[in-house]
């Protein structure tokens, strides 16, 4: 294990996942400092989603980790919800290759798939577009970029859970009009507890996401 690898006593996250995350941190795929706060933050997605859904995803659900990086929160969530299918979307060749190995090390083959491509492309795959119950995003991009790249994956009534920065951006960062273009709506009470949750209330128009790189260069909001 690398620096900060030791799991907390009584952690619900298996030791194999801690080991993988420690290696990811050693490679610079996860930020510095003790690993435990990173894992605790990943588990915060569970609380944020449960607050809105009233329970965990079911085995019929499909979860997308948008910009999976070194495995946070995707691998932590996959270990927490062992019957649920996951797709880890990661455009970096180095990170996606690491995630492929990580899935095997964590014994998640068959239900956790690494999509080694940009989100703008993955969001147009017929097997993913409009078919996913949940999208999670830890540090993918700006609000506009994140919403545009997440919306195409979500089925009707699907949920997007986004980690907010230490200094909350507030509802102004997620304008109703901009979200509505993508079929999304902020779930009350808005950003709280470090997370913002959005519901897919209408189909994302076919024109989104735009070409690779455009959502980042010219965000919708």
Say if 101 falls within a structural domain. yes
The DSSP H or E segment spanning 78 is: helix 74-80
Say if 94 falls within a structural domain. yes
pLDDT above 90 as % of the chain: 91
Question: Which CATH number goes with the domain that contains 106?
Answer: 3.40.50.150
pLDDT above 70 as % of the chain: 96
How many angstroms separate the CA atoms of 154 and 201, rounded? 10
Q: Are 74 and 68 in contact (CB under 8 A)?
A: yes
The distance from CA 186 to its chain's CA centroid, rounded to whole angstroms, is: 17
How many angstroms separate the CA atoms of 58 and 118, rounded? 27
Mean pLDDT of 82-91: 97
Say if 36 falls within a structural domain. yes
Other C-beta atoms closer than 10 Å to the C-beta of 177 total: 8
The count of C-alpha atoms lying within 13 angstroms of the C-alpha of 134, restricted to the half-sphere facing its C-beta, is: 31
Instruction: Give Cα separations from 150 to 33, 45, 104, 144, 184 (angstroms).
Output: 29, 16, 26, 10, 10
The torsion angles phi and psi of 212, rounded to 5 degrees, stand at -50, 125
Say if 195 falls within a structural domain. yes
Confidence (pTM): 0.94
Structure tokens at 47: 């609380």
pLDDT for 113-153, tens place per residue? Answer: 999 999 999 999 999 999 999 999 999 999 999 999 999 99
The domain total for the chain is 1
User: In this model, does residue 98 exceed pLDDT 50?
Assistant: yes
pLDDT for 3-42, tens place per residue? Answer: 454 566 578 999 999 999 999 999 999 999 999 999 999 9
Domain around 105: 15-204
Say if 103 falls within a structural domain. yes
pLDDT for 187-216, tens place per residue? Answer: 999 898 899 999 999 999 999 999 999 999
């Amino acid at each position: 294990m690398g620096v900060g690898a030791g799991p907390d006593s009584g952690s619900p996250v298996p030791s194999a996942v801690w080991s993988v995350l420690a290696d990811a941190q050693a490679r610079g795929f996860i930020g510095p400092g003790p690993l435990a706060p990173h894992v605790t933050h990943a588990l915060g997605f569970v609380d944020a989603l449960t607050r809105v859904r009233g329970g965990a995803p079911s085995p019929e659900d499909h979860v997308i980790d948008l910009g999976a990086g070194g495995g946070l929160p995707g691998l932590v969530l996959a270990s927490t919800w062992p019957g649920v299918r996951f797709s880890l979307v990661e455009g970096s060749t180095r990170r996606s290759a690491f995630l492929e190995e990580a899935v095997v090390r964590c014994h998640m083959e068959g239900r956790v798939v690494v999509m080694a491509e940009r989100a703008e492309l993955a969001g147009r795959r017929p097997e993913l577009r409009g078919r996913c119950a949940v999208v999670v995003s830890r540090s993918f991009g700006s609000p506009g970029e994140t919403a545009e790249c997440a919306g195409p994956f979500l089925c009707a009534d699907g949920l997007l859970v986004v980690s907010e920065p230490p200094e909350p951006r507030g509802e102004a960062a997620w304008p109703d009009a901009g979200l509505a273009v993508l079929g999304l709506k902020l779930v009350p009470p808005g950003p709280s507890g470090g997370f913002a949750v959005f519901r897919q209330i209408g189909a994302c128009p076919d024109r989104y996401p735009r070409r690779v790189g455009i959502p980042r260069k010219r965000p919708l909001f």
